[in-house]
Amino acid sequence: MTFAIELSGLTKRYADQVALAGVDLTVENGAFCVLLGPSGCGKSTLLRAVAGLEPPTSGAIRLGGKPVADVAHGVHVAPGMRDLGMVFQSYALWPHKTVRDNIAWPLKIAGVGKAERRARLAEVAEMLDIAPYLARYPAELSGGQQQRVAIARSIAPKPSLLLFDEPLSNLDTQLRVEMRAELLKLHSKTGATIVYVTHDQVEAMTMATQIVVMNAGRIEQNGSTASILSDPQTAFVAGFVGNPPANLFALRRNGTGWTLGDQAIALQSLPAQHETVRAMVRPSRIGLSDQPGERRLQARFVEALPFGAQHFIQLESNVGRITVLVDDWQARDHGSALYVELPLQPDAVFDADGARLT
């Protein structure tokens, strides 16, 4: 099977800093692949390596089955020869060119004839609803309109691969929602493979057919939205993905039982062969009480956030911040005492290094 993208042992170092640490990844043709992770995790570096803007320190990249970078064999195909389009966070439009000329320029450089350029320009302008603005300059457009122009310019040459580096981060909330819908339409109409970088989980979950969660230059988990949310394979994914993310409790073995902080806690399904583990518990499975009891930890109320008909409750305890999702909530004073009750069985268990155990 030929993949749109194949990365093998992709590594990128800057002096003594490792930005990518031996990344292996495949992306199928026609996928909408989102690289999700915190700032500095390596997702933009990976995207730029695929684009040819960041030559890897070691490893190999194949696009559509063809090698475009292979350090061991001295292969490096120039960005303009990789059959891809890229949209940056900053839009990167030429301020002295009209919208028409911004979009048509890559076609002209590629040697596309005037008649075909006009036809393609009209097609992408209609697709992205920017036909009325073709005679304007970028400074005369809103942020959302400029982003549409940047996208139109990237798709005009009909590349098989589209790369997006946090393209919506400069837009307001409403525009981001509208542009997410437009990008999904674009994906459907063009059939291109899309790789999209973001730290915004909503963007990832609403658009992706494949999510790659990254941390510290490595892939933590790669899969569908459903699998990332319901079946996290590392403690990092459990604590990063979700709205809100799951709670993680550091447990230490004490004889035949376990302690959480300085309190004995009776939980089931914990592996006997480990001295320390991290137990994942989703906010919806934690109870609240005014009284102490078995599997209850004392905490202090911080804030309550409405979430539809429910509330997310944030609390502080001697084992860190705890988030609880409740149906009914009565207002309380900041700092007032509460007890959180853990379920008998956690949702998942990870070892001390964050690898999934159950």
What whole-number distance in Å separates Cα of residue 14 and Cα of residue 12? 7
The stretch 64-71 carries a mean pLDDT of 96
- Is residue 277 within 8 Å of residue 271, measured between CB atoms? yes
Could you say which architecture CATH assigns to the domain 237-351?
Beta Barrel (2.40)
Enter the DSSP assignment of 246. P
The stretch 128-132 carries a mean pLDDT of 92
294: pLDDT confidence band, cut at 50, 70 and 90? confident
The whole-number pLDDT of residue 32 equals 97
The whole-number pLDDT of residue 175 equals 83
The fold of 5-236 is Rossmann fold (3.40.50)
Q: What's the whole-number average pLDDT of the chain?
A: 93
3-state helix, strand, coil in the chain (%, to 5): 30, 35, 35
Count H helices and E strands in the chain, helices first. 8, 21
Residue 313 in tokens: 């409750």
Q: Give pLDDT tens digits for 320-350.
A: 999 999 998 888 999 999 999 999 999 999 9
Residue 330: CB atoms within 10 Å = 5
131 vs 269, more confident:
131
Q: Select from 81, 142, 133, 143 the least CA-distant residue to 102.
A: 133
5 vs 108, more confident:
5
The whole-number pLDDT of residue 216 equals 96
Q: Give pLDDT tens digits for 216-226.
A: 999 999 999 99
The whole-number pLDDT of residue 91 equals 81
The whole-number pLDDT of residue 318 equals 93
% of the chain beyond a pLDDT of 90: 79
Domain range list for the chain: 5-236, 237-351
Q: Give pLDDT tens digits for 85-107.
A: 999 888 889 999 999 999 999 99
110: pLDDT confidence band, cut at 50, 70 and 90? confident
The stretch 154-167 carries a mean pLDDT of 93
State which of 62-76, 84-98, 135-149 shows the largest mean pLDDT.
Answer: 62-76
Segment among 194-198, 216-220, 291-295 with least mean pLDDT: 291-295
The alpha-helical segments, DSSP class H, found in the chain are 43-51, 99-109, 114-127, 143-155, 173-190, 201-207, 225-230, 235-240
